[in-house]
Amino acid sequence: MVVSESIELQMQQAETRVFKVVFPEIINHHNTMFGGRVILMMTETAFMTATRFCRKNFVIVNADKIDFLKPIPAGSLIEMVGNVESIGNTSIRIRVNVFREKMKDIERVEVVSGVFTLVAINDDNRPVRILD
């Protein structure tokens, strides 16, 4: 995808970050954050990134290639980072990478990543162009 300078800037400004403490309320019986909870937060991050890119209504149509690379123990911090990966006619692909930080040491590693496709819709739920 070749993108103009102004769209590249728009893509940078759409980057959306969400930090979270891994509290007991979101962990499973292995004492790590349940995978489904991670995907829930990644989906919300993807939705916000798409919305902030072009300020249109979006619905999610696909989630793909969500890879869990490392576990997320209780008491970690995680940061979700959403970025526009590519722009179609009426759809947009958002990559969300999740990083884990320890509370008491400096360490930052990627633990999950995935790609979400969303479609821009108007008030009648019809697809509309991403770029006007």
As measured in angstroms, the least distance from the Cβ of 24 to its own copies is 5
The token duo for 107 is: 């360490």
Contacts of 116 (CB under 8 A, 6+ apart): 42, 43, 46, 47, 60, 62, 63, 64, 93, 94, 96
As measured in angstroms, the least distance from the Cβ of 97 to its own copies is 15
> Does position 131 bind its own copies by CB under 8 A?
no
> Does position 130 bind its own copies by CB under 8 A?
no
Beta strands in 88-123 (DSSP E): 91-101, 108-121
As measured in angstroms, the least distance from the Cβ of 62 to its own copies is 6
Single residue of 51, 86, 90, 97 touching its own copies by CB under 8 A: 51
Q: Is 96 helix (H, G, I), strand (E, B) or coil?
A: strand
> Does position 21 bind its own copies by CB under 8 A?
yes
Single residue of 2, 104, 124, 132 touching its own copies by CB under 8 A: 104
